[in-house]
Structure 1
Amino acid sequence: MDEEQGLPDAPEAAADMPQAPAGVTPPARRGGLAWLREGARVLAFRPPRWDGLQARPLTLAVLVLASYPIALVMQRALMDGEPRFLWNGILAGWVGTAAWAWLCWVVVRSRTAAVGPATLLAVSAAAGLVLNAIGGVAVLALRAAWGPGDDWPAALSWAVWLTPLSWAALMQAVLLWREAGTRAARAVLLMVLPIPWLVGGWLAPVSFWWSEPPADAEASFAGLPLTDEIVAAQSELLDEALAQLPAPQPGRINVYGLTYAPYASEDVFMRESATVAKTMRERFGAGMVELVVNPATAASLPWATPLNLRHSIARIAARMDRERDVLILHLTSHGGADGRLATETWPLQTEPMTPQLLKRWLDEAGVRWRVVSVSACYSGSWVEPLAGDGTLVMTAADADHTSYGCGRKSELTFFGRAMYAEELRRTLSFTDAHAAARNAIEVREQEAGKSDGYSNPQLRMGEAIRPVLQRLERELGG
């Protein structure tokens, strides 16, 4: 950035510059990369070398504005799809810059400083520019490893936001504290310094992009229909589904199935519930109850709400032989890194499901033999809470990865397709089907270009349920 070399001196800038003693040659003015080198020193909490640093207006403008294109590129890299550009993002951040410039003036006025306030502000901006460049490279690397920012674990998202913000605040506080010459200046510094970071980091951050919802989002999901007829029929639909469950046949293992699809705005979960129910009926002779929230099934299937799930588990347990029969429960929705299964039931207000809650309801109902299948991102976090001697747990991913195929254009999730539409059509062994599904899913994810790594579906089987499922295979002719 040597562009300042040929510019005429501004009178006000000249008045603010320290004068060299008579007979002493002032140090040559430095420009270009010297600002970035001194910014890097400040970033490492080392004092800058002021000799030869004199900030002209163009220098200051370049150093302050250069962070904006970095923020533009970095924010876009975190987003998927086609977000809308917000040109007024360039208007954000100036309140913090003004407060910071005033602090530089206060600090310089508090002592016979070696530099003027413009130079102090320029070095601070250079340090911020270096930090933003490092952060931009880190974000691009994380994007390549984890995919879009919306897919990151919550802890990673918070770390990416808080780490550079905290480092910059501490770095600039150290810089001004060193330059402040009086206790009064340092007191002002302590009071005013949080303002730029509160405004720029929290209240009005620089934002250049906005993710618009898909064009068909409102058309595809305007909420569940809540007419008097549908609301009144819901309790009847659940009672009818539970009443139609067959009585257990003595002398053999009977299978009862329950699906739970609580995300109404995407049809893939409704289709997956139907696929699982069909496979369970045809391959295992299961008596099935489907709990689904979707506008298309509001008048034909009971809603997938936590209350209906708990009630269904209790009623199925009362119908089955709890010492012999098996309950197969499949849950399908979006999942979070915090272990919650997402719900979308607007305008109904429902809570996300958790593995701890599901286990408690199964235990309360006295279901001894249970196969739990969870098709969701990060569903591996359900394995440990649900595991037990009488439980087989299968998931579409491990606790650190997303699964695939749960978008609006998907017919089935990759896990639902491989496990229930394909492999359990070839075998009655859940372990064999899951092993084959893992291989098929890995190939399909690679072909689809999944960016955050193999979903790594998980399975854990309790020792007590193993012979029960082996006997079930023999009885069904597997």
Structure 2
Amino acid sequence: MRRSLLSLTALLALLPVSAAQQQQPYAPPQHTAPPPPGVARSTPLEVVQQADGGTQIERDRPAAHALAEHRRLAKALATLAPQRKGVVDAYVLSVALDSDPVFGREAREAAKVLTRRYDAAGRTITLAGTDGAGPSALPMGSPQNVEAVLGRIAEQMNPAEDVLVLYTTSHGAPFGIVYNDGNEGWGAISPNRLARLLNESGIHRRLLIVSACYSGVFVPVLSGPQTAIVSAASSDRSSFGCIAENDWTFFGDALINRALRKPQPLGQAMTEAVALIDGWEKQGNLKPSLPQQSVGVEVQAWLTPLEARMPKAATQPVGRPSVDSLKDLQR
């Protein structure tokens, strides 16, 4: 009997493996379907109104997806530590609102850099789709999840003492930053919507970093005495590097992956990042993106103690430099 089983095992090992049995490489979500009819047929004014409302549309999602997403978000929210009395604590939220892997990779690494820089261990949440290697174990970067996390941060922080550090990366449009998860999720967050969410939550001390085309639309609306806001482009310009295969956008690479890894003030980091981006754009003969920034008159009250706790040593950039994508375009 034993000899028969061994013979059968050897015979099965010689049989060809079917295509279904072979492990297929992971394919990230693709944007191949048109937007839902209610989105596609909207007028420009209606699109702005939808973005101002924080519109999110999901379709063809199985019930198992909704349950799994609920569990992922609940787990992330439960990890958020309360603030420390007498300490200016930073709460970091890093969000990839589009499922193209470049944004997932950028949001993950941005969370690490910002957490280290601003002493936010235990007070950081990342919302992002795939990094290209496989399905994401993180809660998705969607308008509704952003709202839930901001609500939880508001519960845990002391608004008179603590700071929100928000990093968002995605494709952008003149009406705001776009949410697009493969063929299943659509939506947007406008400057008015984000301002309303933060104001209603009582989150007034904030460092907002928006990486997207046209992201300068957020600057005048979100600026305020206690707000520092930085955008990847002016309100009428594109930013660059958002190719799905990239590890970084130009802006994310320059500001997060390089300038903010160094123990230098935010203003100096922005100056360095803008110079890097300008050089890369000239190298590619690209129309300048013109990153924007606004720093409120009361920002130093919370930024100075945060930067006083910055690590004294820089860390090395990771991933493929975003400027390398210019070589691919020139082939």
The reply to whether TM is greater than 0.5 is yes
**CA gap 1:428/1:243 in 2 versus in 1, 3 angstroms:** farther
Q: Does the alignment pair 1:273 with 2:107? A: yes
Task: List structure 1 runs of 4+ shifted beyond 4 angstroms.
Answer: 222-228, 295-299
Aligned to 2:129: 293
Aligned to 1:468: 302
Contact 2:28 2:101 in 1 (8 A): no
Contact 1:332 1:375 in 2 (8 A): yes
Cα displacement string for residues 411-462 of structure 1 (whole angstroms, at most 9, x for unaligned residues): 2001101111111111352221111100011111112232xx2111111011
Deviation at 1:400, TM superposition (A): 2.2
**Where do residues 169-180 of structure 1 align in structure 2 (5 Å cutoff)?**
none
1:335 counterpart (157, 172, 190): 172
**CA gap 1:475/1:299 in 2 versus in 1, 3 angstroms:** closer
Segment drifting more, 252-261 vs 295-304 = 295-304
Q: Which has the higher contact order (CA 8 A, sep 6+)?
A: 2
**CA gap 1:349/1:268 in 2 versus in 1, 3 angstroms:** closer
Cα displacement string for residues 113-143 of structure 1 (whole angstroms, at most 9, x for unaligned residues): xxxxxxxxxxxxxxxxxxxxxxxxxxxxxxx
Q: Does the alignment pair 1:233 with 2:73? A: no
**CA gap 1:408/1:346 in 2 versus in 1, 3 angstroms:** closer
Q: Does the alignment pair 1:283 with 2:120? A: no
Aligned to 1:416: 252
Once residues 134 and 226 of structure 2 are traced to their aligned partners in structure 1, the CA distance between those partners, rounded to angstroms, is 33
Report the identity percentage.
Answer: 31
1:221 counterpart (2, 9, 29): 29
Letter in 2 for 1:221: P
Contact 2:150 2:201 in 1 (8 A): yes
Q: Secondary structure at the match of 1:324?
A: coil
Contact 1:252 1:475 in 2 (8 A): no
Segment drifting more, 288-297 vs 425-434 = 288-297
**CA gap 1:233/1:291 in 2 versus in 1, 3 angstroms:** same
Aligned to 2:148: 311
Cα displacement string for residues 248-270 of structure 1 (whole angstroms, at most 9, x for unaligned residues): 12221111111221111x21100
Segment drifting more, 368-377 vs 223-232 = 223-232
Contact 2:240 2:250 in 1 (8 A): yes
**Where do residues 4-153 of structure 1 align in structure 2 (5 Å cutoff)?**
none
**Where do residues 315-464 of structure 1 align in structure 2 (5 Å cutoff)?**
315-336=152-173, 338-450=174-286, 453-464=287-298
Letter in 2 for 1:239: A
Structure with the largest fraction of strand: 2
Q: Secondary structure at the match of 2:281?
A: helix
Q: Mind listing any 5+ residue stretches in structure 1 that lack a counterpart?
A: 1-217
The alignment's C-alpha RMSD in Å is 2.2
Q: Secondary structure at the match of 2:253?
A: helix
Q: Secondary structure at the match of 1:424?
A: helix
Letter in 2 for 1:290: T
Cα displacement string for residues 298-329 of structure 1 (whole angstroms, at most 9, x for unaligned residues): 55111111111111101111111111111001
**CA gap 1:284/1:389 in 2 versus in 1, 3 angstroms:** same
Alignment size in residue pairs:
257
Contact 2:119 2:309 in 1 (8 A): no
Deviation at 1:297, TM superposition (A): 6.7
Once residues 60 and 169 of structure 2 are traced to their aligned partners in structure 1, the CA distance between those partners, rounded to angstroms, is 22
Contact 2:28 2:134 in 1 (8 A): no
Once residues 297 and 256 of structure 2 are traced to their aligned partners in structure 1, the CA distance between those partners, rounded to angstroms, is 24
Deviation at 1:221, TM superposition (A): 2.5
Letter in 1 for 2:164: L
Aligned to 2:329: none
**TM-score of the two chains, using structure 2 as the length reference:** 0.72
**CA gap 1:222/1:395 in 2 versus in 1, 3 angstroms:** closer
**TM-score of the two chains, using structure 1 as the length reference:** 0.51
Q: Mind listing any 5+ residue stretches in structure 2 that lack a counterpart?
A: 1-25, 32-58, 313-331
Once residues 474 and 220 of structure 1 are traced to their aligned partners in structure 2, the CA distance between those partners, rounded to angstroms, is 40
Aligned to 2:9: none
Contact 1:233 1:299 in 2 (8 A): no
Once residues 335 and 366 of structure 1 are traced to their aligned partners in structure 2, the CA distance between those partners, rounded to angstroms, is 26
Cα displacement string for residues 41-74 of structure 1 (whole angstroms, at most 9, x for unaligned residues): xxxxxxxxxxxxxxxxxxxxxxxxxxxxxxxxxx
Contact 2:233 2:239 in 1 (8 A): yes
Once residues 260 and 477 of structure 1 are traced to their aligned partners in structure 2, the CA distance between those partners, rounded to angstroms, is 24
Contact 2:213 2:232 in 1 (8 A): yes
Aligned to 1:125: none
Once residues 291 and 345 of structure 1 are traced to their aligned partners in structure 2, the CA distance between those partners, rounded to angstroms, is 12
Letter in 2 for 1:379: S
2:84 counterpart (223, 246, 249): 249
Q: Secondary structure at the match of 1:343?
A: strand
Q: State the structure with more CA Rg.
A: 1
